[in-house]
Amino acid sequence: MAKFSFLVFLVCLSGCLGQFHKGESYFRNQEYEKAISEFNRVLFVSITDLKSLHLRARAFEELEKYEKAIADYEHIVRLEPTYAQAWAGLGKIAWKKDKLADAENYLLKAAMHDPNDYDILLLLGRTMIKNQRFKSAEEFIQLAVDLQPDQPSPYFYLGIARGYQGDGLGVVTAMNTYLSLEDDNISAHYNRGFALMKLGFKDWAIEDFDVILEKQPTHYDAMVRRGICLLEDYPSEGMRNIKKAADNGNRLALSIVQQFGK
């Protein structure tokens, strides 16, 4: 009898493993509904199978069935409180729902349990920027940079975090590296141009604003700041930029035109 029970157990175990691998394959092929069905079969036999719970939660997340994903992630951390990817999953969903305080709390727990996960560190840093915790954001994003120095995204957010702290040179340094890896980003050119302008490097700032306006001629924030940079040496051209931006409703340009009008 005992031998029979053991054989039944082995058959069930083999079936669960087979269904997990099928579910995993469906997930990787972005067939999320089929993946969920397979993981349901595994979890019917073993509700504590963490890998199946995790991938089912990820599948629910991809389908934007967030409440079901949250239920799975919360089940995982009750079973295994150090499961970093479950905390990260809760953090990502909170981010998507704009619950940024919750997102930061979940992602901090994820980073505590897996301090070498690039994606967790980067999203935590971005969340901290949103929560106006710029110094901490810089520190976590720098950790992401250290892990994957060839990835462009962390340098962009590093520049943003430094900018909010008033570190203009730090912005320029970070954006220089970002743009050496990913040149086609108007926002990066704008942030670097703005920092260069503030630091007094007007000619270099104009180069960034020119890149922006070539790609997006209606970027009036860049246009008015280009005009400001030109005012001292080329006042007519500078005022033409400012006037055009003002005519299109740019607030900074309007205030400058009003001042000159007085």
Instruction: Say what percent of the chain tops pLDDT 90.
Output: 85
Per-residue model confidence (pLDDT) at position 8: 41
Q: In whole angstroms, what is the distance from residue 11 CA to residue 13 CA?
A: 5
Per-residue model confidence (pLDDT) at position 10: 44
When the pLDDT of each residue in the chain is averaged and rounded to a whole number, the result is 92
Tokens describing residue 12? 């069930």
Q: What are phi and psi for residue 165, nearest 5 degrees?
A: -95, 5
Tokens describing residue 79? 């079973």
Give the pLDDT confidence of 149-182 residue by residue, as tens digits: 999 999 999 999 999 999 999 999 999 999 999 9
Per-residue model confidence (pLDDT) at position 45: 85
Give the pLDDT confidence of 36-54 residue by residue, as tens digits: 999 999 998 888 889 999 9
Q: CB burial class (10 A; 0-12, 13-18, 19+) of residue 236?
A: exposed
Q: In whole angstroms, what is the distance from residue 173 CA to residue 142 CA?
A: 13
Cβ burial 12-46 (10 Å sphere, 16+ → b, else e): eeeebeebbebbbebbeeeebebbbbbbebbbeee
**18, pLDDT greater than 70:** no
Amino acid identity, residue 261? G
Give the pLDDT confidence of 1-16 residue by residue, as tens digits: 544 443 344 445 445 5
Q: In whole angstroms, what is the distance from residue 221 CA to residue 73 CA?
A: 43
pTM of the full predicted structure?
A: 0.87
**228, pLDDT greater than 70:** yes
**Cβ count within 10 A of residue 8:** 10
Contact 95/127 with Cβ under 8 angstroms?
yes
Model confidence at 261, pLDDT cuts 50, 70, 90, reads: low
Per-residue model confidence (pLDDT) at position 166: 95
Per-residue model confidence (pLDDT) at position 162: 97
> Alpha helices, DSSP H only, in the chain?
2-28, 32-45, 50-62, 66-79, 84-96, 100-113, 118-130, 134-147, 153-164, 168-181, 186-199, 202-215, 220-230, 235-247, 251-261
Average pLDDT over residues 13-22: 65
Give the pLDDT confidence of 96-147 residue by residue, as tens digits: 999 999 999 999 999 999 999 999 999 999 999 999 999 999 999 999 999 9
Average pLDDT over residues 203-212: 97
Per-residue model confidence (pLDDT) at position 212: 98
Average pLDDT over residues 194-206: 97
Per-residue model confidence (pLDDT) at position 260: 77
Contact 169/196 with Cβ under 8 angstroms?
no
**186, pLDDT greater than 80:** yes
